[in-house]
Amino acid sequence: MLGKTAGGLYWMFRYMERTENLARLVETGERIALTRGDGTDSEWKSILSTAGVRSAYMEHHDEITGDAVIDWLLRSPDNPSSVMSCVEAARMNARTVRTALTREVWEAVNECWMVLCDTLARKVPTRDLPQVLSTIRARSAFVRGALHGTMLRDEMYDFARLGTFIERADATARLLDVKYFVLLPSIAGVGSRLDNAQWEMILRAVSAEGPFRQVHGNTRGAREIAQFLILDGRMPRSLAFCYTKIGDNLEYLLRDHGIRKPCHDLSDEICDRLREMSIEDIFEEGLHQFLQDFLKRNAALGHQIEQDFRFYR
Amino acid sequence: MRSDSLFDEMYEPDGSPRAAYADFARWFEAEDPKRLRAKAREAEDAFRLTGITFNVYGDPDAGERLIPFDIVPRIIAAREWAKLSKGIEQRVRALNAFLHDIYHRQEIVRAGVLPYQMIARNEAFLPQMVGVDPPGDIYTHIVGIDLVRTGPEQFYVLEDNARTPSGVSYMLENRETMLAMFPELFTDNRVQRVSNYPRNLHASLSACAPPACDGVPTVAVLTPGIHNSAYYEHSFLADQMSAELVEGHDLRVVDGRVAMRTTRGYQPIDVLYRRVDDDYLDPLTFNPDSMLGVPGIFDIYRAGGITIANAPGTGVSDDKAIYSYMPEIVRFYTGENALLENVPTWRCSDPDALAHVLANLEDLVVKEVHGSGGYGMLIGPAASKKDLKAFRAKLEAKSGNYIAQPTLSLSTVPIFANKGLAPRHVDLRPFVLVSPNGIDITPGGLTRVALKKGSLVVNSSQGGGTKDTWVLEEE
C-alpha cells in the first residue's frame, strides 16, 4: 500500500476523533455554564486550552464568552481545529484514500460532511445546541461503525486505528493536564464545591461519568479520577487503553512487514511506563510533569510512524 | 436546423413507441409521475453520497457539482449495436495502425494521402515517440468514439478520443443507479451488461505489460490529484481494478524502473494508466514546470521498463484536423471503406474551404482544432450577430486553428421533465479497450443529453446531463 494512503487513513481518523472530542468539550462547557452560576468564563478558558486553540482564539477575539467560544469550536473556518474544519479535513483525506476505503466507510464520512455542512451553515442557537452536538457524535459514530463492520483487518485498518488512538491519547492527556491542579491531592479540599465542578467537567469531557460510577461507586476523589483516566485499561479513553491498542496495531504491522522499526521501540517505552507505574508513582513524579512527558512522547511516536511508514517521503 | 426532420429515438412520428422502447413505454405510462419524481430525487441523493461530483474549471467558488442524471434510458436495439460496433472496431484498428505508422515510416505521408504539414505542424505530435515501440504495439489502450445520430440508419462519428477519454464511471454508475431504483425494468428488458468494464480494463492493461515485467503485472492509475475535475473517475477505476491510485509525488525512478512509494519502500509499476496529459508526464522530456508527472519516466518507457496507457503522442490521431482525414485513414490501413461516416468537415486552413465557411457562418458549427469540452466553439444558428462578427475575425486571423461542420439535426431521446416526457438532443460515447488479445467494446457507453430545450451542447461543463444507455440482447 502507498505511504500516502497510510498517511491519509491515519489523518482521516485523527480528524474524526478530534471532531468527536470537540463535541464532548463543547457539551461539557455548556453544561457547566447552565448549572453553575460562577466561574464559567474560566471554564470556557480551560476548554479552549484543552482543545489547544486558546491563543488562536485570542487572536480573533477580545474576550471569552460562551457564545463566541462555541462558535469558534464548532464552525470557525479560521480555526483549523473547529468541528467543521476537522470534518472537511477528514473528508479530504478520505477522498485521497478513497480506494482504500469500503463504500460504507466513504459514504459515512461523506454523509457526515454533508449533514454538518448543512447543520453548521449558520450560527447554532443555544436551544439547538444539544441536538447539533448529538448529530456530530452520531455522525462520527457511523464512520467508526462502518470501519469496524466493513474494513478488512490489514495494514489499512492498522493505520486508521493508530490515528484514532494517538489523537485520543493526546486529547485525554491534555484534558488532564489543563486540570492537573484540581487533581493534586495535597491542594484540594476533598469534596469542595469547586472540585466537584471541575471533576464533573473532566469526566464529562471523556464521557466517563457512568463508567466511573460503575467502577468507583459514588466516591469521587482526585486520585481515583486520575487513576481511572490514566491507568485503567478498561476505560476506552484512558491513556493505558489507547496504548494497549497502539501497541497491538504496531505489533500487527510488525508481523505483516516482518521488520521492527524505531516506532516500535518508542511505543514499547510508553506502554511499559503505563504498565509499571502506579498512580502514586505518577503523583510522586508530579502529575503535570508526567503528562507533559507523555504528550511529548505521544507526539514523537506520531512523527516516527509517519517516517517509518513513509507517509510523505 | 429544421424541426420537421428531427429524429426521435423513442417515438415514431405518429407518436407510437419504436420497437426497442415498447416495454419501457408501457412501464412508464403505468407509473405514477409522483413516484418517478421521488425516485429521480433519490438518484440525485445517491450520486451525492457516492461523491460522483466534478469541479468546474475556472470557478473555484462553485464547489462540487453533480452531473444531472435523467431516469429515461437511451435504448439501442441489438441489430443497431451490431452494426455500430463493427464500425467502431474498424475505426479503432485504423487509429492504432495510423499511430504506429506516424511514429515509424509515415507511409501515409509518402503515399500522398495525408499532407506532411498535418503531422509536422501538429502540436500533439511528439518527435520523442519516433521509433519507439510500445509493448504489444498498442498506442490507444482506451478509446472513446463520440457518435451522433440523425436518422433511423444514420450515425456519424463526431470525434475520436484517443488521449484520455473520460466518462466511463458515469456509464457504470448510471447503470447501478437504474438497477437499484427500477429493478423491475431489467426483468422485462434483457439489457447487455456493462459491469465487466473494470475487469476488462485491468486485463487489457495487464496484457500490455512491458518487457521488464516478471510475474503478475502491477497496474496503477496516475491522477493529477483530487482537484482534477475527473478525480472521482480516477479513484473509481483504481478502486474497481484494485490498482493503486498514484500521483506524481508518489513515484520516482528506482533501478531503471518507475516505482511507487509504499509503506514497505519503493515498488516497481509495470503498467501506468495515466490520466495526466502528455505535456505533464515527464518534466525532463516535456513541460519542465510540470509537478504532476515523474522525472525520467519517458526514458524508462523507451527502454521497456514501463507501459504508459495511452501511449504518449496519441493526440496526433484525434484532433479535429486529422479527423477530417479519417475516411482516407481508414481506407489506407484497413483496405475497406469506413463503416461509420464522418460529419462533412471544412478545414479552414484551405483557402477555398475558408471562403465557404465565412460565407455560410450562420449555418455552421465552427470548432477549434485542439479544443475540447465544448469550449471555444461557435454554433452558427444559435449565435448573435456580435458573436458571429467576433468569430469571423478569429477565423481570418488564425484560420488553421479551425474546422467547420454543418449543424446536424441530432436525434432526440425524451427526458423526464417537470411536465412529463420532453425530447432533448443526445450523443453517445462508447468505450473501447484495445490489447494484443483484441478489441473489446462495452455494449452501450455514455449518453450525454442537452437538458435545455433545443440545445445541441451536451457537455457536462455546459449544462448537459447523462442517461443510462441500454443495448438490448438479441431477441
- The DSSP-derived string for A79-101 is -TTSHHHHHHHHHHHHHHTGGGS
Q: Please judge whether B261 and A107 are an interchain contact, meaning their C-beta atoms are less than 8 angstroms apart.
A: no
The continuous run of DSSP H or E covering B138 comes out as none
Residues B451 and B354 in one domain: no
Q: How far is A262 from chain B (nearest CA, A)?
A: 14
| pLDDT category of residue B373 using cuts at 50, 70 and 90 | low
Residues A281 and A251 in one domain: yes
Q: What is the mean pLDDT of residues A28-51?
A: 81
| pLDDT category of residue B60 using cuts at 50, 70 and 90 | low
Q: Please judge whether A99 and B250 are an interchain contact, meaning their C-beta atoms are less than 8 angstroms apart.
A: no
Alpha-carbon dihedral sign for residues B35, B39, B40, B41: positive
3-state SS assignment for residue B90: helix
Last residue of a domain, one of A110, A127, A151: A151
For chain B, say whether A110 makes contact (Cβ under 8 Å). Answer: yes
For residue A310, what is the nearest residue in chain B, using CA coordinates?
Answer: B263
Among candidates A99, A111, A155 on the partner chain, residue whose Cβ is nearest the Cβ of B245:
A99
Name residue B207's beta-bridge partners.
none
Residues B377 and B420 in one domain: no
A235 vs A41, higher pLDDT = A235
Residues B384 and B422 in one domain: no
Name residue B441's beta-bridge partners.
B432
pLDDT of residue B1: 39
In a domain, B219, yes or no: no
B3 pLDDT exceeds 80?
no
Q: What is the mean pLDDT of residues B4-10?
A: 84
pLDDT in tens, A11-37: 999 999 999 999 999 998 888 888 876
Q: Please judge whether B226 and A96 are an interchain contact, meaning their C-beta atoms are less than 8 angstroms apart.
A: yes
In whole angstroms, give the CA distance from residue A276 to residue A301: 19
B408 vs A193, higher pLDDT = B408
For chain B, say whether A2 makes contact (Cβ under 8 Å). Answer: yes
Residues A127 and A196 in one domain: no
A285 pLDDT exceeds 60?
yes
B300 pLDDT exceeds 90?
yes
For residue B234, what is the nearest residue in chain A, using CA coordinates?
Answer: A99
**CATH code: domain of residue B445:** 3.30.470.20
Residues A192 and A255 in one domain: yes
pLDDT of residue A40: 59
Among candidates B49, B231, B238 on the partner chain, residue whose Cβ is nearest the Cβ of A110:
B49
Last residue of a domain, one of A109, A136, A151: A151
Q: Any idea what DSSP says for residue A192?
A: -
- Helix %, strand %, coil % for chain B, to 5? 40, 25, 35
Residues B433 and B469 in one domain: yes
In a domain, B279, yes or no: no
For chain B, say whether A254 makes contact (Cβ under 8 Å). Answer: no
- The set of residues, in sequence order, having a beta carbon less than 8 Å from that of B20 and lying 6+ positions away, is B75, B76, B77, B80, B472
> What is the average pLDDT value for chain A, to the nearest integer?
92
Closest CA to B423 of B58, B36, B74: B74
pLDDT of residue A183: 80
Residues B375 and B456 in one domain: no
Give, in order, the Cα–Cα distances in Å from B81 to each of B12, B173, B198.
19, 21, 21
Q: What is the mean pLDDT of residues A276-295?
A: 95
For residue A102, what is the nearest residue in chain B, using CA coordinates?
Answer: B239
In whole angstroms, give the CA distance from residue B104 to residue B130: 6
Enumerate the residues of chain A whose CB falls inside 8 A of the CB of residue B244.
Answer: 1-2, 5, 99
For chain A, say whether B261 makes contact (Cβ under 8 Å). Answer: yes
For residue A108, what is the nearest residue in chain B, using CA coordinates?
Answer: B49
Residues A170 and A305 in one domain: yes
Report how many domains make up chain A: 2
Residues B365 and B414 in one domain: no
- The Cα angle at residue B317 between residues B316 and B318, in degrees rounded to 5: 100
For chain B, say whether A98 makes contact (Cβ under 8 Å). Answer: yes
| pLDDT category of residue A193 using cuts at 50, 70 and 90 | low
Residues B56 and B3 in one domain: yes
In whole angstroms, give the CA distance from residue B196 to residue B295: 34
3-state SS assignment for residue A257: helix
Enumerate the residues of chain A whose CB falls inside 8 A of the CB of residue B236.
Answer: 98
Phi and psi torsions of B87, nearest 5°: -65, -40
Residues A183 and A38 in one domain: no
3-state SS assignment for residue B273: strand
pLDDT of residue B134: 97
**CB distance B282 to B294 below 8 Å:** yes
B461 vs B318, higher pLDDT = B318
pLDDT of residue A198: 82
Last residue of a domain, one of B357, B388, B407: B407
- The set of residues, in sequence order, having a beta carbon less than 8 Å from that of B79 and lying 6+ positions away, is none
CA distance between the termini of chain A: 14
Q: Please judge whether B48 and A114 are an interchain contact, meaning their C-beta atoms are less than 8 angstroms apart.
A: yes
The ipTM value here is 0.89
Residues B392 and B373 in one domain: yes
Residues A136 and A174 in one domain: no
pLDDT in tens, B264-277: 999 999 999 999 99
B59 pLDDT exceeds 60?
no
pLDDT of residue B5: 67
Residues B400 and B422 in one domain: no
What percent of chain B clears pLDDT 90, i.e. is strictly above it? 77
Residues B98 and B162 in one domain: yes
Q: How far is B441 from chain A (nearest CA, A)?
A: 26
- Structural domain of residue B152, as residue ranges? 1-124+141-194+410-475
| pLDDT category of residue B2 using cuts at 50, 70 and 90 | very low
Residues A145 and A172 in one domain: no
Residues A69 and A104 in one domain: yes
Q: What is the mean pLDDT of residues B449-472?
A: 89
Q: What is the mean pLDDT of residues A137-156?
A: 96
pLDDT in tens, B375-391: 778 888 888 999 899 98
Q: What is the mean pLDDT of residues B2-6?
A: 57
For chain B, say whether A113 makes contact (Cβ under 8 Å). Answer: no
A189 vs B234, higher pLDDT = B234
Cis peptide before B310 (omega within 30 of 0): yes
Enumerate the residues of chain B whose CB falls inside 8 A of the CB of residue A110.
Answer: 49-51
In whole angstroms, give the CA distance from residue A31 to residue B335: 83
For residue A100, what is the nearest residue in chain B, using CA coordinates?
Answer: B239
In a domain, B246, yes or no: no
Last residue of a domain, one of B356, B377, B407: B407
Residue with cell 447539533: A132
Mean pLDDT lowest for which of A239-248, A264-273, B95-104, B320-329?
B320-329
In a domain, B288, yes or no: no
In whole angstroms, give the CA distance from residue B79 to residue A286: 84
Q: Please provide the size of chain A in residues.
A: 313
Work out the number of other CB atoms within 10 angstroms of the CB of residue B144. Answer: 24
> What is the average pLDDT value for chain B, to the nearest integer?
92
- Structural domain of residue A87, as residue ranges? 1-151
Residues A146 and A169 in one domain: no
B30's grid cell = 403505468
For chain A, say whether B233 makes contact (Cβ under 8 Å). Answer: no
B34 pLDDT exceeds 80?
yes
| pLDDT category of residue A79 using cuts at 50, 70 and 90 | very high
pLDDT of residue B123: 87
Report how many domains make up chain B: 2
B58 pLDDT exceeds 70?
no
Residues A264 and A157 in one domain: yes
Q: Is B167 left (phi over 0), alpha (psi -120 to 50) or beta?
A: left
Q: Please judge whether B250 and A309 are an interchain contact, meaning their C-beta atoms are less than 8 angstroms apart.
A: no
Residue with cell 516535456: B286
Residues A145 and A164 in one domain: no
Residue with cell 488512538: A165
pLDDT in tens, B418-444: 889 999 999 999 999 999 999 999 999
In whole angstroms, give the CA distance from residue B378 to residue B375: 9
Residues A6 and A135 in one domain: yes
**CB distance B171 to B442 below 8 Å:** yes
Last residue of a domain, one of A124, A151, A178: A151
Among candidates A1, A96, A99 on the partner chain, residue whose Cβ is nearest the Cβ of B262:
A1
B232 pLDDT exceeds 70?
yes
For residue B221, what is the nearest residue in chain A, using CA coordinates?
Answer: A99
A148 vs B188, higher pLDDT = A148
For residue A2, what is the nearest residue in chain B, using CA coordinates?
Answer: B262
B407's grid cell = 449543424
A245 pLDDT exceeds 60?
yes
Last residue of a domain, one of B376, B391, B407: B407
pLDDT of residue B370: 73
The continuous run of DSSP H or E covering B261 comes out as strand B257-262
- The set of residues, in sequence order, having a beta carbon less than 8 Å from that of A137 and lying 6+ positions away, is A20, A23, A24
